[in-house]
A and B are shown apart, each in its own frame.
Chain A
Amino acid sequence: MSSAPLLQIQNLHAEVDGKAILRGVDLVLERGQVHAIMGPNGSGKSTLAYILAGKDGYDITDGRILFEGSDLAEMDVETRARAGLFLGFQYPVAIDGVATISFLKEAVNARRAAAGKDKLDAVAFLKQVRAFAAQLSFDESMLKRYINLGFSGGEKKRAEILQMLLLEPTLAVLDETDSGLDVDALKTVATGIESLRSPERAMLLITHYQRLLQHVRPDYVHIMADGNILHSGGPELAQKVEDGGYAEFQQSARTAQTAQA
């Protein structure tokens, strides 16, 4: 394991379809840490998540991202995933005709192969899937269905967390995993996330609201707006957002800019 931080984002500028979205983001995640990024709609949170995962059409125009010391831009989407970067999608895609269980097996074995491990045999794999499914109250019969097809919003998010548990990522980026969940589902999902917390891993939770953060307590909270991190602090920041919204942070950022000028 390298001694470099797990993730270093340095002066990241990025655009989507030619439109500038991120304007100089700096962020460092050390192993064992859980960070949360909060911010209003359109602040660039999801763009950051897609940039990390390597989605087409999301382009870095300046700055860089180092994952375990390696330049992420040099790695294609699947290489990042196999190296241990996991993106929990805000809107998981439904894929007609591809059975969830065979997809999971393919994904797990791709990750294992990259780590130099043997393929899991069918029995061991199923056992593991079933254990995680039970932990997440995810109906086992769903595994036979096509990926996310006909899943409710809550089922899709549980399926994302199930994938995360199976893939054991070193960096989990969860994009609004709490949206669309009722109170019970939120607790289940949070327990799933919390169970993956370990000194070897880091997590980046992207969220609008602090309710997920009540269950998965972050070490650091960052406030993002207009493509930049305006403010960083401890978990108490989340409560501040909940009480006063983002206006205060955006206001103080503008004041700071004016002062600099």
Chain B
Amino acid sequence: MSAQVSNLPQGAHQAVTSLMEAAKRIEAGASTGEETALRRKAREQFAALGLPTRRLEAWRYTDLAGALQGPLPPLSSSGDIQLNEPFKGALGSLDEALENARAQAGGELSASIVFVDGRFSAQHSRLDKLPKTVRLRAGYVPLANEDVGDGDNDMLGSLNLSLASDGFEIIVDPNAGAEAFIHLFFASTHKESCSMHSRANVRLGKGANLKLFETHAGIGDVPCLQTHITDVTLDESAKLEHACVEDNGTQHISLARLKARLKQEAQLSCAALGVGGKLVRREYNVLFEGGGATAKLSALSLANAGETRDINAKLHHKVPDCISDTLVKSVLTDDARGVFQGLVRVEPGATQSNGQQTSKALLLGRGASMNAKPELEIFNDDVECAHGSAVGELDQEALFYLRARGISEGNARQLLINAFLNDVFERIEDDALQLAVESRALNWLEDASVRAREA
């Protein structure tokens, strides 16, 4: 590991050192020999890989090492957090933020699972209305279902597995009648630099339905690295609708991955809003294993000065008749950076595949930049795939037209940006989820730096 680490900037070197020390401690304290072995393998893989450099295609536009500015000890590794202690954190009004998120989710929540600084908080969670068809385990690390890594260069997978301190598992029984609606809340309340690592398994039986609303909330400017991996399996005709709002503190780095295996006729719909945090990177890794399955991915990247949003979507069409549809919309002010890398891979046997990828970005600052790289790897002729990307600025003619009718420049800009984002909101089928994502996005649009004309 030394060769990799020593080339890093000092801040990144300190971060990696603190992470590796913690990983060794976790490994030593593992409760079973199996866990120790798994953790060790992951740690060694991370040590061998090191932090991703921009020479790696998947990290070409996002400088993770440059974003790490010092030690990031995992908060939960030392066991010094007592979950039942009264909540005291930088996020003074956790309860309020939580209530807001719950209210946004509407009145039909089956459960609300709360993680505070990466640890499950039974005290804040509400699990009493969960239907009997849904089996939930929270507050443990679901290691067993995870292979180490996703490939040769999987820094995120190995880092997360070596350090994960908490997580949950949701299993919905086959043909469970009513749709369950579960809220996941990740609060960052730490007062010192730290990291937090969690994992989740979500399994939907044949014909089962689930709605997941995931919110990440944090305030302040304490450096933090968060990794979170969700492993989804949808059996035949199962349907998962997932919406995520990442609204973290200004020095928060969030690296999340959602891996999904889709069986026959399964439907996956994911929407992600990245609105707060120094770096929000979300990876989707979707594997079509059964014919007729669909995956609809929608992402909204909203960023201000000094922030980066990175969406990385891989859709692997292994079997015939599947549909993937990815839409990423970015609004970038000041010197914000947006990234979209997409890959639709269609295997020789995956005939009648349909894969769409679109990235559109609105640059509101002279220093703002967008890198979009949608790619297709197609190994048969019987497919319908398309990709496109566009980068533009606000339409000055439209802005003038609105202002000439008495609408203030700020409101006119807001109307036009909202119009730009509209089709992403419309892709979110569920009303409660749509409202939750839309209201947070519109709230961001009211921010002064979005409304103001570039100086």
A residues whose Cβ falls under 8 Å from a Cβ of B:
53-56, 76-78, 80-82, 87, 89, 92-93, 95-98, 103, 106-107, 110-111, 114, 146-147, 163, 167
Which of A56, A80, A96, A147 is the one whose CB lies under 8 Å from B396?
A56
Bound Cα distance A103, B419 (Å): 12
Considering the complex, give the chain B residue whose CB is closest to the CB of A80: B404
Enumerate chain B residues within 8 angstroms of A110, measured Cβ to Cβ: 405-408, 411
Please determine whether B401 and A93 come into contact, CB atoms closer than 8 angstroms: yes
Please determine whether A103 and B402 come into contact, CB atoms closer than 8 angstroms: yes
Which of A77, A97, A147, A167 is the one whose CB lies under 8 Å from B403?
A77
CB distance from A149 to the nearest CB of B (A): 10
Q: Say which size band chain B's interface belongs to.
A: 20 to 34
B residues whose Cβ falls under 8 Å from a Cβ of A:
395-398, 400-409, 411-412, 415-416, 418-420, 422-423
Please determine whether B406 and A97 come into contact, CB atoms closer than 8 angstroms: no
Please determine whether B406 and A92 come into contact, CB atoms closer than 8 angstroms: no
Please determine whether A95 and B406 come into contact, CB atoms closer than 8 angstroms: no
Known contacts A56-B400, A97-B416; can you find 18 more A-B pairs with CB under 8 A? A76-B409, A77-B400, A77-B409, A78-B412, A81-B405, A82-B406, A93-B395, A93-B398, A93-B400, A95-B401, A95-B402, A96-B419, A103-B407, A107-B402, A107-B405, A110-B407, A110-B411, A114-B406
Given known A-B contacts A96-B419, A98-B416, A53 and B404 have beta carbons under 8 A apart? yes
Can you list 22 residue pairs at the A/B interface with Cβ under 8 Å? A76-B403, A76-B409, A77-B403, A77-B409, A78-B403, A78-B406, A78-B412, A81-B406, A89-B404, A92-B401, A93-B400, A95-B398, A95-B416, A96-B419, A97-B416, A97-B418, A97-B419, A97-B423, A98-B415, A107-B405, A110-B406, A163-B405
Considering the complex, give the chain B residue whose CB is closest to the CB of A78: B403
Instruction: Choose among B404, B406, B415 the residue with the greatest number of A CB atoms under 10 Å from its CB.
Output: B406
Enumerate chain B residues within 8 angstroms of A98, measured Cβ to Cβ: 402, 415-416, 418-419
Which of A78, A80, A87 is the one whose CB lies under 8 Å from B408?
A78
Bound Cα distance A110, B412 (Å): 12
CB distance from B131 to the nearest CB of A (A): 39
Considering the complex, give the chain A residue whose CB is closest to the CB of B411: A106
Bound Cα distance A205, B422 (Å): 37
Please determine whether A103 and B405 come into contact, CB atoms closer than 8 angstroms: yes
Please determine whether B416 and A106 come into contact, CB atoms closer than 8 angstroms: no
Bound Cα distance A107, B401 (Å): 11
Enumerate chain B residues within 8 angstroms of A146, measured Cβ to Cβ: 419
Enumerate chain B residues within 8 angstroms of A95, measured Cβ to Cβ: 395, 398, 401-402, 416, 419
Considering the complex, give the chain A residue whose CB is closest to the CB of B401: A93
Enumerate chain A residues within 8 angstroms of B404, measured Cβ to Cβ: 53-54, 77-78, 80-81, 87, 89
Enumerate chain B residues within 8 angstroms of A55, measured Cβ to Cβ: 400
CB distance from B20 to the nearest CB of A (A): 48
Please determine whether B405 and A167 come into contact, CB atoms closer than 8 angstroms: yes
Bound Cα distance A33, B409 (Å): 31
Bound Cα distance A14, B319 (Å): 65
Please determine whether A78 and B415 come into contact, CB atoms closer than 8 angstroms: no
Bound Cα distance A111, B401 (Å): 15
